[in-house]
Amino acid sequence: MSLRQDKADYIIKRLEELYPQTPIPLDHKDPYTLLIAVLLSAQCTDERVNKITPLLFKKADSPNKMIKLTPIEIEAIIKPCGLSPKKSKAIYELSHILIDKFQGLVPASFEELESLPGVGHKTASVVMAQSFNVPAFPVDTHIHRLAQRWGLTNGKNVEQTEADLKKIFPKEKWNKLHLQIIFYGREFCSARGCDGLQCEICSAFNILRKSPVLTKK
């Protein structure tokens, strides 16, 4: 299997068989709590975020409640997620901005989301896809590495990989597919590496490979 489109078609079919349902890994109840959870997930596992957000949201699950806390109080709660000084400052500041500029609501546009402190393109993409059902293809480091291993991109960064994946996968499948790839990667194809024979998709795309090949991709 050599053509990127053939590989993409195979991936869509197989992942739909494996993961017909795609629950959002981060626990949340609305766009604001999802935004905060995704922000906290930077360089942190979803599992850990899901242990911390109930503690944070018990005190503040809306911008109006969040600004009643100090950045130091927020930092004390989210410390296990890592990068807590930076994240707490961003959470506090973006909550103020949501109140001052957006009537306390999370904006439903990439440009406005990415203007918020601590919110990059990947975070904005998750919120747009999962809260507002706008087609997006959030690409984190794990998806980037899988796309490289599977021969779907030559991208040197997540931005180029995102662009390549959007070209070969149907737009109406982006929101679900990025979650399916995450689920598959966590179960079968580690972010740290795959020898080309460990998982079904890597094996299918390296059918002539007879022995493992170490890779850091």
Q: Is 176 a known active-site residue?
A: no
Out of 7, 61, 87, 140, pick the active-site residue: 140
pTM attached to this predicted model: 0.90
Helix (H) or strand (E) run with residue 145 in it:
helix 141-149
Nearest to 81 by CA among 43, 109, 111, 124: 43
Q: What is the pLDDT of residues 114-173, one digit of tens each?
A: 999 999 999 999 999 999 999 999 999 999 999 998 999 998 999 999 999 999 999 999
Active-site residue, selected from the candidate residues 7, 61, 87, 122 = 122
Task: Determine the pLDDT at residue 191.
Answer: 73
173 catalytic per annotation: no
Q: What pLDDT digit, counting tens, does each position of 158-189 carry?
A: 999 999 999 999 999 999 999 999 999 999 98
Domains of the chain: 4-22+137-205 (1.10.1670.10), 31-132 (1.10.340.30)
Q: Tell which residue, 57, 55, 17, has the closest CA to residue 33.
A: 57
**124 CB-contact burial (10 Å; exposed 0-12 / middle 13-18 / buried 19+):** buried
List, for residues 45-97, the tens digit of each pLDDT value. Answer: 999 999 999 999 999 999 999 999 999 999 999 999 999 999 999 999 999 99
